[in-house]
Chains A and B, each alone.
Chain A
């Protein structure tokens, strides 16, 4: 073992200890609890798979399925919205792009709940900004969409859009302009340029943005409680309820493990495919 390596290990020790105590240990605890009988508060019983059975049979799969599908839909909508935005920002450098970028980035510094309450003012029926404007200017009466899944989805997209946009911008900035010009010069149509050149070359950015959006949406709770009016129970809320009101730690733990497994199954293979070091060094 070289001297250099030894020193590196020593320097990494505090971080390793912190992660072991604050991250690995709790996860191991959660995993251990997930195999304990329902409503027990110790790890001394015999291991059982009953909690995982409940997770799939006793309607707990619904929050999980809803959160996963909403995370997926949110990610897709964010990608569809962010691609044209990123293209415009990437092409038009200068004051315009800077202003727009700042306008999109600034709200991130405000608490998520505050922003969602702001959005609820927008969506409120009657005197709300959306309903009021439509009514006053165009005489259109719309019913309330607040406290519905749609309102929650709007919130999901609103909150996670910047997390997709900025990685996409990074991804697009990796495409040399001449590559696009060369493709067009060789006869490619706009769609073919997107399909063959832009998308593959911007893929690292697309992947990172999609992962951020998916993982954050999967664990999101505030959108549904503030905008969705608990129209659906999201998986994080279901877990919280198991741990607090229901006092069923093992079932909560099993649901937690399922979320972690789903996240890891999606994130790890994708992360392997992108060269993060290469992206950062540019």
Chain B
């Protein structure tokens, strides 16, 4: 039924979901199919409605209209405590008056599972998120940021949910630890085989972890695809810009206006070219242009250059080794291949 990436049956079906807060439409007629076992990420800037969307999916917010169904069963009116789903909150929402063990066992305690059985499962869940079992008796307040992250994951997994929701749980974590946790999250997804639905404003995070990404803007999903599809074939300028620094040129009657360059295969609209595809070598380029190197920056493994063409700036990035002999202030011919670019209508 769905255009699901890997062909598995869809576990979550969202149809025409809409939610308004006063004048603003936070979620605007969203329909979506998510296949079983997928790591699906919704990326959008703040205010795009992604938090509202995931809160509706978790049952913490009621939609104004539309439906949410899990394996074909309507969930729309079902409250959060009766849904077989679980959410990891941005704040993690760990119960600070409880120990790590009590936090992890909470979902089973409220279901009346006997203490001994709870404890055994809690220890197994701590091992699953790579926390030493002696954390069981530790206070949540004694845990570091990364440890709390794992406790929150273990607590969510302990409720054995069909779907795990994540509301930007890594946003408050510093870069180094976040990179480690991103990989662990991906790994945990693979090991548990559960469906993960994740929201973030961080594209990089989405690219590392996800099977599919949806880009959200003003309450709508503007593009859905694999990380590679979205990165290489954005369907709108918004998505292209959202996925990192890009050059966007305006094309009209076979001409690229900003570059004063021409090519017969150009449709009217826009052309997106990533900085790494702009080359200081016009020989096998489809489009080439004369530019002055205005400035250069070292970005670690690569260098970035700002090239001036008339009134416009074109951004180019070269790997460290290829950057030799490129000096700010000099004028030269640069170019790119059309196969490395994406043409857009809007």
Neighbour of A178 across the interface among B93, B97, B109, B111, CB < 8 A: B93
- For A178, list chain B residues within 8 Å (CB): 89-91, 93
Q: A186–B86 contact, CB under 8 A?
A: yes
Is B87 interfacial (CB 8 A cutoff)? Answer: yes
- For A192, list chain B residues within 8 Å (CB): 110
- For B87, list chain A residues within 8 Å (CB): 181-182, 185
Contact digits for B55-76, partner A, Cβ 8 Å, 1 yes 0 no: 0001110000000000000000
Q: A197–B60 contact, CB under 8 A?
A: no
Is B95 interfacial (CB 8 A cutoff)? Answer: yes
Q: A186–B91 contact, CB under 8 A?
A: no
Contact digits for B72-83, partner A, Cβ 8 Å, 1 yes 0 no: 000000011111
Question: Cα distance A185–B58 when bound, in Å?
Answer: 7
Q: A184–B159 contact, CB under 8 A?
A: no
Q: A183–B95 contact, CB under 8 A?
A: yes
Can you name the residue of chain B whose Cβ is closest to the Cβ of A203? B97
Given A182-B87, A187-B111, A188-B106, do A201 and B81 touch, yes or no (CB 8 Å)? no
Given A185-B58, A185-B86, A186-B106, do A176 and B91 touch, yes or no (CB 8 Å)? yes
Q: A187–B97 contact, CB under 8 A?
A: no
Give A160-200 interface residues, CB cut-off 8 Å to B.
Answer: 176, 178-179, 181-189, 192, 196-197, 200
Can you name the residue of chain A whose Cβ is closest to the Cβ of B61? A181
Q: B95–A197 contact, CB under 8 A?
A: yes
The minimal Cβ–Cβ distance linking B141 to chain A, given in whole angstroms, is 12
Q: B95–A184 contact, CB under 8 A?
A: no
Question: Cα distance A186–B60 when bound, in Å?
Answer: 12
- For A189, list chain B residues within 8 Å (CB): 81, 110
Question: Cα distance A192–B81 when bound, in Å?
Answer: 11
Question: Cα distance A186–B109 when bound, in Å?
Answer: 10
Q: A185–B81 contact, CB under 8 A?
A: yes
Question: Cα distance A191–B31 when bound, in Å?
Answer: 35
- For B82, list chain A residues within 8 Å (CB): 187
- For B159, list chain A residues within 8 Å (CB): 186-187
The minimal Cβ–Cβ distance linking B112 to chain A, given in whole angstroms, is 10
Do most interface residues of chain A lie in helix, strand or loop, or is the interface mixed? helix
Q: How many A-B residue pairs have CB under 8 A?
A: 60
Question: Cα distance A192–B87 when bound, in Å?
Answer: 18
Q: A185–B60 contact, CB under 8 A?
A: yes
Is B155 interfacial (CB 8 A cutoff)? Answer: yes
Q: B107–A186 contact, CB under 8 A?
A: yes
Question: Cα distance A45–B171 when bound, in Å?
Answer: 75
- For A201, list chain B residues within 8 Å (CB): 96-97
Neighbour of B107 across the interface among A176, A181, A187, A197, CB < 8 A: A187
- Give the most central of A182, A183, A200, A201: most B CB within 10 Å: A182
- For B110, list chain A residues within 8 Å (CB): 183, 186-189, 192, 196
Give A191-225 interface residues, CB cut-off 8 Å to B.
Answer: 192, 196-197, 200-201
Given A186-B106, A186-B110, do A181 and B95 touch, yes or no (CB 8 Å)? no
- Give the most central of B79, B82, B110: most A CB within 10 Å: B110
- For A176, list chain B residues within 8 Å (CB): 91, 93
Q: B59–A183 contact, CB under 8 A?
A: no
- For A186, list chain B residues within 8 Å (CB): 81, 86, 106-107, 110, 155, 159
The minimal Cβ–Cβ distance linking A100 to chain B, given in whole angstroms, is 23
Question: Cα distance A186–B92 when bound, in Å?
Answer: 13
Question: Cα distance A181–B89 when bound, in Å?
Answer: 9
- For A184, list chain B residues within 8 Å (CB): 60, 79-81
- Give the most central of B79, B81, B90, B111: most A CB within 10 Å: B81
Question: Cα distance A176–B82 when bound, in Å?
Answer: 22
- For B106, list chain A residues within 8 Å (CB): 183, 186, 188, 196
- For B80, list chain A residues within 8 Å (CB): 181, 184-185
Give A126-179 interface residues, CB cut-off 8 Å to B.
Answer: 176, 178-179
Q: A179–B93 contact, CB under 8 A?
A: yes
- Give the most central of A183, A187, A197, A201: most B CB within 10 Å: A187
- For A188, list chain B residues within 8 Å (CB): 81, 106, 110
Question: Cα distance A3–B64 when bound, in Å?
Answer: 66
- For B85, list chain A residues within 8 Å (CB): 185
The minimal Cβ–Cβ distance linking B159 to chain A, given in whole angstroms, is 5
Q: A181–B93 contact, CB under 8 A?
A: yes
The minimal Cβ–Cβ distance linking A184 to chain B, given in whole angstroms, is 5
The minimal Cβ–Cβ distance linking A56 to chain B, given in whole angstroms, is 41
Q: A200–B97 contact, CB under 8 A?
A: yes
* Cβ contacts A to B, 24 pairs, < 8 Å: A178-B89, A178-B91, A178-B93, A179-B93, A181-B80, A182-B89, A182-B95, A183-B106, A184-B79, A184-B81, A185-B60, A185-B83, A185-B86, A185-B87, A186-B106, A186-B155, A186-B159, A187-B82, A189-B110, A192-B110, A196-B95, A196-B106, A196-B110, A200-B97
14 additional contacts, CB 8 Å, given A185-B59, A185-B86?
A: A176-B91, A178-B89, A178-B91, A178-B93, A181-B89, A181-B93, A184-B80, A185-B83, A185-B85, A186-B81, A187-B82, A187-B107, A196-B95, A196-B109
8 closest Cβ pairs, A-B complex: A182-B93, A178-B93, A186-B107, A188-B110, A184-B81, A185-B80, A184-B80, A200-B97
Residues in chain A within 8 A of chain B (CB atoms): 176, 178-179, 181-189, 192, 196-197, 200-201
